[in-house]
Structure 1
C-alpha cells in the first residue's frame, strides 16, 4: 500500500492512519476467506432434484446452511460500515485533532483549514468506498448461491442495502455528519458516541419509511386459497374487500368466533363461524398490497437522493463552522 502518489495533507492523512487501512484490508481478506471457504464446502454436496426438475440444496448439506448464515450475518455487518466510518471521522479524524491541538501543526504548513479538512474527508471517503466495494463483492459471491432463501430476499433489511447503491450514500452521509459533529463537540469519545447515535437514527428511520416512497400495487381474487403476490413481491398489507370495494375489518369476525361457544375445542368450528361472518358482511374478495421487485432500484435511488442531500447539508455546515472558527 504505497503513499508515494499522494501529496501534502493527503499523504499525511494516509500515513497517520495507515493501521486503519491495514485493518480494512484484513477485514476484506477474512471475509473472502470465510465466504470462499463456505462456497467450496457447499459445492461438495450435490443439490437434490425436485419432481419438476428444479434443484434445491440437499438436507444434509451443512455447507449451504453455514453459507446462508454467513451471508445473513454479513449483510447485517455491512450495515455497520456507515456507522464505523462516521464514528471514525468524528472521533480520531477530527475531534481528536482539535482536542489534542495537533491540527495547529498542519495549519502552519501552508495548508488552509479548508484544505486540511478536505484532505481528511476525501481520503477517508475514498478508502471507505474501496473497502465497501470489496466487501459487497465478497457478499455477492455468497448471495449468488443463497438469495431468495429465508430472510435473504431482495427487500429484506441487510440484503436490500448490500445489493444496491444506497450503502455508498450512507457512507457519504456518515463522513459529512462525522465531520460536523467532530468540530462541534471536539471531544473524541463524545463525538464518536453522538455520531453513532445520529447515523443509527438515520439508518432506523430510512429503513422504516423506505417502502412508503412508492405506491403499492394491489391484486385481488375471490376469497379462498391464499393469494400469492407475483414478481417476488414484498407484501405490505392483505385482507378482505366487501362488494362495494371497501376494506373489511377482519377483527370483527375474529371477535365473533372468539365469543362463539366451542370454537376453542371443536375442530373446524372457528373457521366455519368466521366464514359465515364474512359472508354475512359481504366480504367475498381478498386483496394484497405489495411492492414488486421492479421497485427495488427506484427505491434505492430515492433513498440515496435523500441521503446525499443530508450529506451535502452536513458537509456545507462543517466547512462553515471551520471557516467561522479559523478565519
Structure 2
C-alpha cells in the first residue's frame, strides 16, 4: 500500500488541490445518483421493448428528463478537455509563476523538470479518471435512451462519449495547459488561452472528422420506387443526382428554371413533368446518397486518437523545452 502512495512533489500537488478533487468526486456521485434514480423511475412505467431499446410510455415523465440529462452528459465529454486545459494552465502552473510560489518548490531539492512532471502526472491521472467517469455515466444512462437520432454513433456527443478519442483529448489538454501556463504565466489569461486552444481543436475535429475516411455511395435510378439507401446502420452525409457521365448535377438549375414557369407552384403534376424534362435536357439519369457505414466508426476513432496523441506529445515536449530554456 505504501508503494502506491504519492510522495514528494506529486503529494504536494494533490494536497494543494484536494478540495477541487473532492468537489469533482462529489459531482460525479451526484450525477450518478440522479441518472440511477431516473432509470429506476423510468422502469416503474410499463415500457415496451424493441430490439433491446426502451420506448417510453405515454405517461412516462422520467424518460424525457433522462434523455435531457444524457444530452448534457454528452456535452460534458466535449467540454471537459477545455476545462482540464484551463485548470492546468491557470491554477496549477500560471498561478505558481504569478505568485512566485514555484520558487519555494525549487528550493526543496526539486528540479524544475520534477516540479512540472509532478503536476502533469497528477493532472493526467485525475483527468483520465474524470473522463472515464463521464463516459461511464453516459453509457449507463444511454442503456435506456438509445431511441432517437441524437444518440446515433455519428452525432458529436455520442461519438465522443463512446470511443477512445475523448481520453486522448484530455491527455492533450494537460499538455496544452502545461505549455500555455508557462508561456502566459498569468492565471486568468492562461486559463482563457488554454481553453480556447482546446475548444478550437474540438470544433475542428467535430467539423472535419468525417472527412478522414472516403465516403461510400449508394445510387439508384431517377423516380425508382422504394428507397435506394444502403442497408444497415449508416451516417448520412449528402445526396443529389448524377448525369450519365457520373458528374454531380446542381439541382438548383432545374428548380430555378421550373419556378420561372407561371402558375406551376400549385400543380404538382406539371412540376414533376417539368423536372423530368429538365433532367432529360441535362442528361441526369441517377440519384445518389453519400454515407459512412457503421464500420467507419472505429477506424475514424483510432485515426483521430493518433492525431490528438501526436498533438499531445508535441505540446508536452514543447512545455519541457520551454521549462528547460528558462530554468537550465
Q: 1:4 to 1:219 in 2, by over 3 A?
A: closer
TM-score using structure 1 length: 0.93
The 1:162/1:282 distance shift into structure 2, 3 A limit, reads same
2:43 is equivalent to residue 39 of structure 1: no
Is the Cα contact below 8 Å between 1:31 and 1:135 reproduced in 2?
no
Correspondence for 1:25: 25
Contact kept? 2:128, 2:171, Cα under 8 Å: no
Residue in 2 aligned with 1:128?
127
CA contact (8 A) 1:237 1:289 kept: yes
For residues 150-183 of structure 1, the C-alpha deviation after alignment (integer angstroms, 9 at most, x for no partner) is: 3110010111000001011110111111101100
Q: Assess if the C-alpha contact under 8 Å between 2:178 and 2:319 holds in 1.
A: yes
CA distance in 2, matches of 1:81, 1:53: 30
**For 2:30 and 2:37, how far apart are their aligned partners in 1?**
10
Task: Kindly state the Cα deviation for residue 148 of structure 1 after the two structures are TM-superposed.
Answer: 4.5
**Contact 1:230 1:292 (C-alpha < 8 Å) held by counterparts:** no
What's the counterpart of residue 256 of structure 2? 255
- Cα contact 1:3–1:14 (8 A) shared by 2: no
The equivalent residue for 2:72 is 73
Structure 2 length-normalised TM: 0.93
Superposed displacement of residue 55, structure 1: 7.0
Q: Which residue of 1 aligns with 2:169?
A: 170
- Mapped to 2, the partners of 1:259 and 1:119 lie a distance apart of 71
Secondary structure in structure 1 of the residue aligned to 2:116? helix
Q: Give 4+ residue runs of structure 1 displaced > 6 Å after superposition.
A: 52-55
In the alignment, does 2:277 pair up with 1:276? yes
Secondary structure of 2:57 counterpart:
coil
Q: Distance in 2 between matches of 1:110 and 1:220?
A: 69
Is the Cα contact below 8 Å between 1:90 and 1:191 reproduced in 2? yes
Change beyond 3 A, Cα 1:49–1:9 = closer
C-alpha RMSD of matched pairs (Å)? 2.1
Tell me the SS of whatever aligns to 1:264: coil
The aligned residue for residue 310 of structure 1 is 311
1:228-239 alignment runs, 5 A limit: 228-239=229-240
1:172 counterpart SS class: helix
Q: Is the 8 A contact 1:229 1:235 kept in 2?
A: no
Q: What is the Cα deviation at residue 227 of structure 1?
A: 3.2
Tell me, yes or no, if the aligned pair for 1:75 and 1:162 is still in contact at 8 Å.
yes
Query: Structure 1 pair 196/3, CA: closer, same or farther in 2 (3 Å)?
Result: farther
Most deviating of 87-96 and 263-272: 263-272
- The gaps in structure 1 that reach 5 residues or longer are none
Q: Secondary structure at the match of 1:151?
A: helix
Number of aligned residue pairs: give it: 325
C-alpha spacing 1:275/1:87, structure 2 compared with 1 (3 Å): same
1:245 CA displacement: 2.1
Q: Matched residues in 2 for 1:82 and 1:64: separation?
A: 29
Q: Distance in 2 between matches of 1:5 and 1:217?
A: 52
Does 1:15 find its partner at 2:29? no
Distance 1:206 1:320, change over 3 A: same
* 1:298 matched to 2:312: no
Deviation at 1:312, TM superposition (A): 0.7
Question: Is the CA contact (8 Å cut-off) linking 2:73 and 2:134 kept in structure 1?
Answer: no
Residue 232 of structure 1 deviates from its aligned partner by 1.6
Q: Matched residues in 2 for 1:133 and 1:49: separation?
A: 29
Q: Which runs of 5+ in 2 are unaligned?
A: none
**Range with bigger deviation, 275-284 or 7-16:** 275-284
Partner of 2:290: 289
Q: 1:41-73 CA deviation, whole Å, 9 max, x = no partner?
A: 2212222478x9997332332222221121112
Q: Distance in 2 between matches of 1:196 and 1:178?
A: 8
- 3-state DSSP of counterpart to 2:149: coil
Once residues 45 and 287 of structure 2 are traced to their aligned partners in structure 1, the CA distance between those partners, rounded to angstroms, is 42
TM-superposed CA distance for 1:130, in Å, is 1.0
